[in-house]
Amino acid sequence: MIILLLSYATAIGYIISIIAYGVGFFSKIPEKTIPYQNKAKIIIRIAILLHLCYLVVRSIDYKHAPITSVFEIFTLLAFSLSITYIYIEFKTKVFQTGFFILLITGIFQIISALFIQELKEINPILRSWLLGVHVSTALIGYAAIMISGIYGFLYLMMYRAIKKNNPSNFYKKLPSLQLLERLAVNAIKFGFVFLTITIIIGAIWLPKAIDNFSYTDPKLIVTFLIWLVYAFGFTSIKIYKTQSKTTMTLAFLGFVFAFFSILILNFLLTSFHKFY
């Protein structure tokens, strides 16, 4: 009962956060923007704390990390998105994009809360906490990729509107192109670090833990390819000072590639990564 209440409380917390960020962004009354942004910052931190408590209590009660079903992965992905966004918000002091990121977070958590169930039989490897760390770092990395893709998309749409000399009020409320680029770059760096940790853990531990491990596994290859894309982007930003539009295009295309690759891998191809 406590687990169920925490799950619903977390979803409600995200819904309230989305509303607060949405009012702060879409309000036509400037005086409402800052108060609602301040409220939103408090509410989202409460929601994240509730989410953390939910994940910890669920993991302790069921004696495994929340990685045994699609809907457990959804709640972990929602948590990854929220903490990645909060990190970027804290680092950049930009709040105007919170509605768009947290809307996706809320959808994942709501779906998870409505459909999550404990499996009767669980593959023993799913009770490994090291596997839980491996999956968590992967999801944080992919969450950062998703966020960088959203920022890249907003950047490209605003860039196009400015070039046409016809930016709508919607774009005027967004951060500047420079700020959107900064947000995307921070997300790329964050995602690159966590994907690197994921690959290192997988390369060292998984061959010993899984009997049918193979370096030719489709998910392993695609994860490495995604890492290479973002390694190239990270290097281009730090060393070659890639042009802003090129960087944002890379962020968006990298997200699209990662998104569709994951869909294809999970629904069409077999992999030793799929334990449930």
Q: What is the pLDDT of residue 272?
A: 45
pLDDT digits (tens, 9 = 90+) for 27-77: 877 666 777 788 889 999 999 999 999 999 998 988 877 878 888 888 998
Mean pLDDT score across all residues of the chain: 83
pTM of the model: 0.83
82 vs 87: CA distance, rounded Å: 9
Q: What is the pLDDT of residue 163?
A: 85
Q: What is the pLDDT of residue 181?
A: 86
Kindly list the distances between the CA atom of residue 131 and the CA atoms of 51, 136, 222, 262, in Å, as whole numbers in the listed order: 20, 8, 19, 19
Q: What is the pLDDT of residue 58?
A: 92
35 vs 26: CA distance, rounded Å: 13
pLDDT digits (tens, 9 = 90+) for 201-234: 888 877 776 777 777 777 778 788 888 887 877 7
Q: Positive or negative CA dihedral for 168, 82, 265, 184?
A: positive
Residue 186 half-sphere exposure toward CB, CA atoms < 13 A: 18
Q: What is the pLDDT of residue 222?
A: 79
Per cent of the chain over pLDDT 90 is 25
52 vs 45: CA distance, rounded Å: 10
pLDDT digits (tens, 9 = 90+) for 106-142: 999 999 999 988 766 777 776 777 777 888 888 888 8
Q: What is the pLDDT of residue 264?
A: 67
